[in-house]
Structures are given as C-alpha cells and as structure tokens.
Amino acid sequence: MLGLSVAATIACILAVYIGSTVQASIGIGVGMIASPVLAFADSDFIPATIVISVLPLTFAVAWIDRSHIEQRGVGFALIGRFPGVILGALIVAALSDRAVAAMVAVSVLFAVFVSVTTKRFQPTDGSLVVAGMASGFTGTTTGVGGPPMALTYQHSDPATMRSTISAFFCIGSLMSIGALALAGEIGVRQWQLAGMLIPGVLLGVVTARLIQHRLNPASIRPAVLAVCTVASIALLIASF
C-alpha cells in the first residue's frame, strides 16, 4: 500500500492506533509511540504526515472534554508556538531524511527523560509560552510536540491536561501544516499516507472512550516509556 509492504503498513497503523488510544486517554502519546516506527517505515511519514493524521484525534478529545479546557493557557501556549513552528519548518526544509530521523529519535528520548523528571512545573503564563515554543519546534520538525506541554501540565487535573493540550494542538497542528506546506514539505503522498493512518487514529479515540475509566496512567506509563526508548535508540542507530 502506497509503496509499503503489508507488514510495514500493519505496523504503522498499529503504532498509531496504540498511540492514539494513549493520547486520547492522557493527552499525549501518538508522537512518542508512533514517530520512531513511522520513521523506520518511510521518511515521508515525518513530520507532516503524522501532524495531519492526528488532527481528528485532537479535535475529538478537545470537543468531548471542552468544559475542562483552560482557555488562557491555550492562548499563551499558542503565542509561543508560532515562532517555534516557523523555525521548525525552516530546519526541516534544510535537513536530510536521515537527519530528521535522528531528530525524531533524540526528541523522543528527551521526552522520555523529561517524563521521569521530578521537577515540578506550573502552567504559568511564561512557562506556557516557552512550552508552546518548544512544542511548536519539536512538533513541526519531528511530530513529537506533546512532551513540553505535558511537562507543564503534568500535575494538573487529568481532564484539564487532556483537554487543554488537545485544544492547543487543534490550532497548533494547523499552524505546523501551513508552515510545512509553505516550506514545500507536504505533497500528495503525505496526504495519502495520512489517510492510511486516520482509521487507526479514529479507532484509538473510540477505544480510549471505552477503556478510559479503567485505564490507570501510572500503570501504563513505564511500559510506554520503555517502548519509546527502545524504538528511539534503534532508530538513532539506524540513522548513522
């Protein structure tokens, strides 16, 4: 399908499905879980395809949990996202596919590191601008834009974290898509690959709604971080 083997296609859809299930439950997950697998399969997945494919997920979660959205936080984060997106698009346009793959691996490994940090961040106006900028840069270059925002909101109410980050990505992803399109990084194949992934994304949203009340983020977090670490190290090695 679209130049991919059957095994690679299944692996990509499965990775996106699992990532979408986790993200629809806790706020982040698709980029960290799926990006290393997608980068292995085909360089055209990163970064534009994954940014496009998760749009339905972020809109769905933001709408479902809209009453919990912290609008002020979204606004300040988007202020920071704009310059991060512009810089990210310029970097992607200048880098080779192997360099982008290496950046994906490094971004995920850094995300794992910050996920286990004991430092407590608060969603102040200033920290949200910085987090939005970092998210805009990493999300536009590698498709892994969730960790900076998740780190800022990690001690907030789960519903607030999930809905606010999703609302931020609803608009932020559109900004990234626009910048990547202007940089010449989005073509017909990126849209086709995104279309291939979207069923897995939507199924992940449905699954999350069914199991969310039974899902304990604390119990799945170590497994998610372990999988992300192994996949990213393998991708980093393959990039050189």
Domains of the chain, residue spans: 6-238
pLDDT of amino acid 126: 93
Q: Which residue has the higher pLDDT, 176 or 33?
A: 176
165-174 average pLDDT score: 95
Q: Residue 98's pLDDT is what? A: 82
Of 46-60, 105-119, 202-216, 218-232, give the lowest mean pLDDT range. Answer: 218-232
Q: How far is CA 214 from CA 71, 157, 207, 224, in A?
A: 28, 17, 12, 17
- CA–CA distance, 92 with 17 (Å, rounded to integer): 26
Q: For 24-45, how does the pLDDT look when each residue is reduced to its tens digit (9 = 90+)?
A: 887 778 888 898 889 889 989 9
CB atoms closer than 10 angstroms to residue 73: 25
The pLDDT, as a whole number, for residue 90 is: 94
Residue 23's nearest CA partner among 68, 67, 53 is 53
Predicted local distance difference test score (pLDDT) of residue 223: 66
pTM: 0.88
Q: Which two tokens stand for residue 224?
A: 């998610």
